[in-house]
Structure 1
Amino acid sequence: MIGITDVEAAAGRIAGHVVRTPTVPSPGLTALLGVPVTAKLELLQRTGSFKARGAVAKLLSLDADERAAGVVAVSGGNHGVALAAMAAALDVKATVVMPRSAPARSVRGAEDAGAVVRLTDGMPEAFALMERLRDEGLTAVHPFDDPVVIAGQGTVGLEFAEDAGELTDVLVSIGGGGLIAGVAAALRARRPGVRIWGVETEGAEAMSQALAAGGPVPVALSSIVSTLSAPSVSRLTYDHVSALVDEVLVVSDAEAVRGSLDLAEHAKVWTEPAAGCLLPAARRVVERVGDGTRLGLVVCGGNASIADMTAWAARFGPR
Structure 2
Amino acid sequence: MIGISEIETAAERIAGHIVRTPAVPSPGLSELLGAPVTAKLELLQRTGSFKARGATAKLLSLGAAERAAGVVAVSGGNHGIALAVMAAALHVKATVVMPRSAPARSVAIAEEAGASVRLTDGMDEAFATATRLRDEGLTLVHPFDDPVVIAGQGTVGLEFAADAGELTDVLVSIGGGGLISGVAAALRALRPGVRIWGVETEGAQAMSEALAAGGPVPVALSSIVTTLSAPAVSQSTYDHVSALVHEVLVVSDREAVRGCLDLAGHAKVWTEPAAGCLLPAARQVRERIGSGARLGLVVCGGNATTADIMSWAERFGLR
Q: Displacement, 1:317?
A: 2.8
Alignment match, 2:79: 79
Partner of 2:215: 215
Contact 1:207 1:238 in 2 (8 A): yes
Separation of aligned partners in 2, 1:42 and 1:298: 7
CA offsets per residue over residues 63-98 of structure 1, 9 Å max, x none? 000000000000000000000000000000000000
SS of the residue 1:98 aligns to:
strand
Q: Equivalent residues in 2 for 1:121-270 (5 A)?
A: 121-270=121-270
Does the 8 A contact of 1:120 with 1:126 survive in 2?
A: yes
- Residue aligned with 1:220, SS: coil
Per the TM alignment, residue 291 of structure 1 is displaced from its structure 2 partner at its CA by 1.9
| Within-5 A mapping of 1:100-111 | 100-111=100-111
Match of 1:318 in 2: 318
| Equivalent-residue separation in structure 1 for 2:37 and 2:24 (angstroms) | 9
Q: How does 1:104-119 map to 2 (within 5 A)?
A: 104-119=104-119
Gaps of 5+ in 1: none
Match of 1:68 in 2: 68
1:28-107 pair list within 5 angstroms: 28-107=28-107
Secondary structure of 1:248's counterpart equals strand
Deviation (angstroms), 1:241: 0.2
Deviations 1:31-50 (A, max 9, x none): 00010000000000000000
Structure 2 SS opposite 1:72: strand
Q: Which amino acid aligns with 2:175?
A: G
Amino acid at match of 2:157: G
Determine the C-alpha separation between the residues in 2 that align with 1:90 and 1:48.
18
Deviation sequence 1:247-298 (CA, Å, 0-9, x none): 0000000000000000000000000000000000000000000021000000
Indicate conservation of the 8 Å contact 1:200/1:251, yes or no: yes
Q: Which amino acid letter does the alignment assign opposite residue 44 of structure 1?
A: L
**CA distance in structure 2 between the aligned counterparts of 1:134 and 1:140, rounded to whole angstroms:** 6
Query: Is residue 303 of structure 2 the alignment partner of residue 279 of structure 1?
Result: no
Could you tell me which amino acid in structure 1 is paired with residue 60 of structure 2?
L
In the alignment, the residues of structure 2 paired with residue 317 and residue 16 of structure 1 have an alpha-carbon distance, to the nearest angstrom, of: 43
> Shift of residue 318 of structure 1?
2.9
State the distance in 1 between where 2:310 and 2:107 align.
20
Match of 1:233, SS? coil
Q: CA offsets, 1:218-263, max 9 Å, x none?
A: 0000000000000000000000000000000000000000000000
Question: Match for residue 2 of structure 1?
Answer: 2
CA apart distance, 1:316: 1.2
TM-score in terms of structure 1 length:
1.00
* SS of residue matched to 2:24: strand
Task: Identify the residue that residue 12 of structure 1 maps to in structure 2.
Answer: 12
Provide the rounded CA distance (Å) in 2 between the counterparts of 1:317 and 1:8: 45
Q: Distance in 2 between matches of 1:261 and 1:65?
A: 46
Amino acid at match of 1:94: A
Alpha-carbon distance between aligned partners in 1 of 2:109 and 2:90, rounded to the nearest angstrom: 17
Distance 2:317 2:79 in 1: 29
Amino acid at match of 1:285: V
Q: Is the 8 A contact 1:258 1:317 kept in 2?
A: no
The number of equivalent residue pairs is 319
Cα distance between partner residues in 1 of 2:86 and 2:302: 18
Question: For the aligned residues, what is the CA RMSD?
Answer: 0.6
- The letter of the residue matching 1:241 is V
> TM-score scaled by structure 2?
1.00
| Partner Cα separation in structure 2 for residue 27 and residue 286 of structure 1 | 16
User: Identical aligned pairs, as a percentage?
Assistant: 84
Q: How far apart, CA to CA, are the structure 2 residues paired with 1:266 and 1:318?
A: 16
**Aligned counterparts of 1:286 and 1:32: Cα–Cα separation in 2:** 11
CA distance, structure 2, for counterparts of residue 33 and residue 103 of structure 1: 30
Question: Unpaired segments of 5 or more residues in structure 2?
Answer: none
CA distance in 2: counterparts of 1:113 and 1:55, whole angstroms: 15
